[in-house]
Amino acid sequence: MRTFLRNKHYATEPVWHVQAAMLVAIALQLLLPDRYVFASRYLLIIIEVLLLVGLSFTTPKQPIFKSLSRRINVLLLIFLTSLANSYALIQVARGLLESGHISNGRLLIFTALNIYITNIIIFGLWYWEMDGGGPGERRRANDHYKDFLFPQDQNPSYRHPDWQPTFADYLYLSSTNGMAFSPTDTLPMSRRAKLLMLAQATISLVAIALVAARAVNILG
């Protein structure tokens, strides 16, 4: 009963930090060269912006909730952004395999960094939406249903009683995995979390190690 009363005072997880990160990803999509853009650049961005705005209306205002409309909204947003970024990476890799197809090293470096940063944002969103059933569900999920083990979970004496991971924690997790190609302070516990982190590390490796190395050779 005491736990329930305390849960009533939990603050609702804000969505503005997700919207801010997605606006960065959309801005990066606008900066991509035309050859790496999936379908119609502006149609895709309009859909993403509409879904981003819709997130404010489909997300319930209480800390513990279950909303199918919000779930569909977020998954569509993440899927479309992932599809666009994956297409850009495939096109860059294809161009690298075709001799002489890419000769502008500076443009290649810019595109690789664009894909790499967008990739961090996308996987931060995937982790945020997946862990423990996503926002609204993981507050009441048992520990064995959660996908990640945070430092606060390993050191209860340093954890605030009302602490819960927010998007900022998952964005940090995505950043460290994209840079180190492995977990750092937050550990994947489920198989789907491990596979998702493996996919992110692979994409980061292609974008940085392969593409950037090729670009340096072109510049040299």
Out of 10-14, 65-69, 214-218, the most confident range is 65-69
Question: Using CA atoms in the order 189, 190, 196, 200, what is the torsion angle rounded to 10 degrees?
Answer: 10
Amino acid 9: pLDDT: 47
| pLDDT the model gives residue 109 | 81
> DSSP of the chain, one letter per residue?
-HHHHHHTTPPPPPSHHHHHHHHHHHHHHHHS-GGG--S-HHHHHHHHHHHHHHHHHHS-SSSS---HHHHHHHHHHHHHHHHHHHHHHHHHHHHHHSTTS---HHHHHHHHHHHHHHHHHHHHHHHHHHGGGSTTTTTTS-GGG-SEE-HHHH-GGGS-TT----HHHHHHHHHHHHHHSS--SSEE-SHHHHHHHHHHHHHHHIIIIIIIHHHHHHH-
pLDDT classification of 143: cutoffs 50, 70, 90: confident
Round the average pLDDT of the chain to a whole number and report it. Answer: 85
Segment among 18-27, 71-80, 178-187 with least mean pLDDT: 178-187
Share of the chain above pLDDT 90, in %: 47
pLDDT of residue 188: 93
Res. 2 pLDDT band, cuts 50 70 90: very low
Residue 69 has pLDDT above 80, yes or no: yes
Q: In the prediction, which pLDDT does 35 show? A: 86
Residue type present at position 114: N
* Mean pLDDT across 166-183: 92
Is 79 a residue whose pLDDT tops 90? Answer: yes
Check residue 216 and give its pLDDT: 67
Rg over CA atoms, the chain: 19
Confirm if 107 and 113 have CB atoms less than 8 A apart.
no
- Give pLDDT, residue 152: 85
Categorize the per-residue pLDDT at 10 as very low, low, confident or very high, splitting at 50, 70 and 90. low
Residue 220 CA to residue 218 CA, distance in Å, equals 5
Question: What's the maximum distance between 2 C-alpha atoms anywhere in the chain?
Answer: 69
pLDDT at 32 exceeding the cut of 80: yes
pTM above 0.85, yes or no: yes
CA dist 133 → 139, 141, 148, 186 (Å)? 9, 8, 12, 18
Answer yes or no: are the C-beta atoms of 150 and 134 closer than 8 Å: no
Q: Which range scores top for mean pLDDT: 8-12, 101-105, 148-152? A: 148-152
Q: Which of 108-122, 146-160, 180-194 has the lowest mean pLDDT?
A: 146-160
- The residue whose two tokens read 């997605």 is 22
